[in-house]
Amino acid sequence: METRQVGSTGLRVSRLGLGTLTWGRDTTAEQARSLLQTYCEAGGNLLDTAAAYGSGETERLIGRLLGDVVPREDVIIATKAGFAIRSGQRVVDTSRGALLRDLEGSLRRLGTDYVDLWQLHTWGEAPLEESLSALDLAVAQGKARYVGVSNFVGWQTAQAATWQRALPGRTPIASVQVEYSLLARRAEVEVLPAVRSLGIGFFPWSPLGRGVLTGQYRNSTPRGSRAASDHFSWFVEPYLEQRSRAVVEAVARAADGLGLTPLQVALLWVRDSPGVTAPLLGARTSGQLMPALAVEDQELPAQIASALDDVSGGPMAARADERVATG
């Protein structure tokens, strides 16, 4: 699989990442093993997780698979800290102490001495400079190689990146991770311009519109799908309204004309959008993952990408600028 540089750092990752949100809950240990094997055999190397996923069980599962399925040094492990679900309640704590405790827990569960990319999971109430000092310390101690932020809006991303650049010795922000797909293009307003200007990598989560862009909900809600589950239905429902249906139908028509699946068309649109480093795939089984991996040598025709821009929210200024720059 082709690799891409993460912003202006020396870190390189495969241009499709593997997300692990469902591992240990909706994805069994055996399914996770199969997913990791399939992904690594295709040349993938970016494994994204978080201390909060499965209340730590996801990282434990990854730790059991590392060294067995794939050597630790062959995988880029990205994890996150500062967010948790406790007693059914969302808890955000981005204080220095809480972040460092999260990191120690992640290292213990993953069975590794370091993570390749350690990220603030969300913006918190602690002073930003305090949160960022935890990132600096983690790198200084060799417990993280690169650092990033997740779910920051544009001004928050710019503020964090600028603070880290203000004095020598601070660790630059390498990446930002937010939702981005044909059904969620808000990142184009501020986040993507910020990352392009500041030389930061960009990892879109939910590039398939929380599964809706695969077309599986066109006629009904399949049993076993996220929308049919008690704990994920709230996550999918916002994208089942009328505007989303028009986008899904456009993706399906493009797929028919190109001999691809809707999943593949939606993924290609994200993967090759200006500023994107690597979309994070949230497949729950290797059967769901394989069609995504099969697009390695594919790309959308320019006119199809532009048509999807138009139907999903309007022309993409960065795409036009990119075409002008490349002649």
Q: Which residues are catalytic?
A: 53
Euclidean distance between the first and final Cα of the chain, in Å?
27
Strands 144-150 and 89-92: unpaired
Alpha carbon distances (Å) from 282 to 55, 169, 213, 314, 316: 18, 35, 13, 26, 25
CB 252 within 8 A of CB 262: yes
Paired strand residues for 67? none
Q: Give the residue from 244, 259, 243, 245 showing the smallest Cα distance to 301.
A: 259
Beta strand residue intervals within 26-114, DSSP E: 46-48, 76-81, 83-86, 89-92
Phi-psi region of 50 (alpha: psi -120 to 50; beta: other; left: phi over 0): beta
**Which is it for the CA torsion 258, 259, 263, 264, positive or negative?**
negative
